[in-house]
Amino acid sequence: MSTLPKFALVGAGVIGTHHAKVMGELADRLSLVAVADVDIDKASALSAEHAYPSLTAALAAEEIDVVVVCTPTGLHGEIAIEALSAGKHVIIEKPAEVTVARTDEIIRARQKAGTLVTVISQHRFDPSTEQVLAAIAAGEFGRVTSGIASIDWWRGQSYYDSGGWRGTWELDGGGALMNQGVHTVDLLIAALGRPVEVFACTGTLAHERIEVEDVATGVVRFESGALGVLHATTAAYPGLSARLQVHGDRGSAVIDNDELAFFHATPAGSAAEERFMGTNRVISGGGAPTASSNPGMLSDAHRRQYLNFLGALAGTEELRVDLETNRQAVAVITAAYESSRTGKPVIL
């Protein structure tokens, strides 16, 4: 009998299919024993012999250790809490939920269950991100002073029309910032620390029949005093990149579409070279650019996050992304929406 942890996938849409592919690549480390979706045909397409119309049905029929939640965002909490109430470990596709309060409900259920929960934040596992965060931790950027999280994407009207939940507050939780921008916001927080205040504006400028924004801009103040800029849009035709810039008084870095496009750090114990104007010194002090993934495709970073989860499950390593980690990104994004509605800064 197999001793591999048994996984159930809930949600067999586009992102659920990606997760099923990752699990297939890790067949020597885990076993996918159930796929659940309200559209049973979608579930059957991923697992003809173990397709179920709901998590409830899957739990009743199969022995399951881990539940992977890939439903529309506004249903994440409902499914995750059901899994946690059954004593299961949980992997949740980003973001954890559409509000901080609903994220906190999952946190309380996890505390009661005593099991592991991770939220997919795969770009924390990109080699480029790891190199930048390591440089910050080593003091090679000096005092981190500012950062920019920019997501310049395009989504045609057909994208929003393809599912009744897309572009709704209830199930999508937001637009360009919550759905497309959450990963880059998460990386900004990873680099700059604890956010304390948000001031933002949003608009719906290029799409019809959606409740949420397709453009968002804002400023985040961090506990350290550092300032961050947010820019997220699905109205930048034909679609550009997701980009993170991090700046300190001894170094800076730019990650563009998961690749390290610029890196300059001052090793601890050495003097920073004085400069009086901007330069375009690419990848100095840090070796060659670190190749990573095409942001529109399934990346190795998904697999690396799964491997970290499996290591935590086995007790051989620490879980690198938990609910509290993702809660900060949800808090910043929902504060941006509140600030846009009220016209005032929001204290976190």
Q: Do residues 160 and 181 both lie within one domain?
A: yes
Single out the residue in 119, 143, 178 at which a domain terminates: 119
Residue 176 placed within a domain: yes
Q: Do residues 234 and 260 both lie within one domain?
A: yes
Q: Do residues 158 and 177 both lie within one domain?
A: yes
Any residues with CB less than 8 A from the CB of 284 and at least 6 apart, and which?
Answer: 263, 264
Q: Do residues 136 and 258 both lie within one domain?
A: yes
Residue 189 placed within a domain: yes
Q: Do residues 219 and 108 both lie within one domain?
A: no
Q: Do residues 33 and 140 both lie within one domain?
A: no
Query: Which stretches in the chain have pLDDT values below 50?
Result: 1, 277-282, 284-297
Q: Do residues 35 and 153 both lie within one domain?
A: no
Residue 320 placed within a domain: no
Residue 305 placed within a domain: no
Q: Give the per-residue pLDDT at 1.
A: 44
Residue 229 belongs to domain with CATH number: 3.30.360.10
Q: Do residues 99 and 211 both lie within one domain?
A: no
Q: Do residues 187 and 333 both lie within one domain?
A: yes
Residue 308 placed within a domain: no
Single out the residue in 72, 103, 119 at which a domain terminates: 119
Residue 317 placed within a domain: no
Range of the domain at 204: 126-295+327-347
Q: Give the per-residue pLDDT at 274.
A: 65
Q: Do residues 204 and 233 both lie within one domain?
A: yes
Closest alpha carbon to 282 in 299, 302, 249, 260: 260
12 CB burial (10 A radius; 0-12, 13-18, 19+):
buried
Q: Do residues 211 and 87 both lie within one domain?
A: no
CA-atom Rg of the chain in angstroms: 20
Q: Give the per-residue pLDDT at 273.
A: 72
Quote the CA–CA distance of 44 and 59 in Å, as a whole number: 17
Query: Contact at 8 Å (CB) between 318 and 156?
Result: no
Quote the CA–CA distance of 340 and 218 in Å, as a whole number: 9
Single out the residue in 53, 86, 119 at which a domain terminates: 119
Residue 185 placed within a domain: yes
Q: What is the DSSP letter of 93?
A: P
| Domains of the chain: total | 2
- pTM for the model: 0.91
Q: Do residues 77 and 49 both lie within one domain?
A: yes
Residue 41 placed within a domain: yes
Q: Give the per-residue pLDDT at 277.
A: 47
Question: pLDDT by residue (tens digit) across 166-201?
Answer: 999 999 999 999 999 999 999 999 999 999 999 999
Residue 91 belongs to domain with CATH number: 3.40.50.720
Write b or e for each residue in 169-186: b if 16 or more Cβ atoms lie within 10 A of its Cβ, otherwise e. Answer: bebbbbbbbbbbbbbbbb
Q: Give the per-residue pLDDT at 299.
A: 62
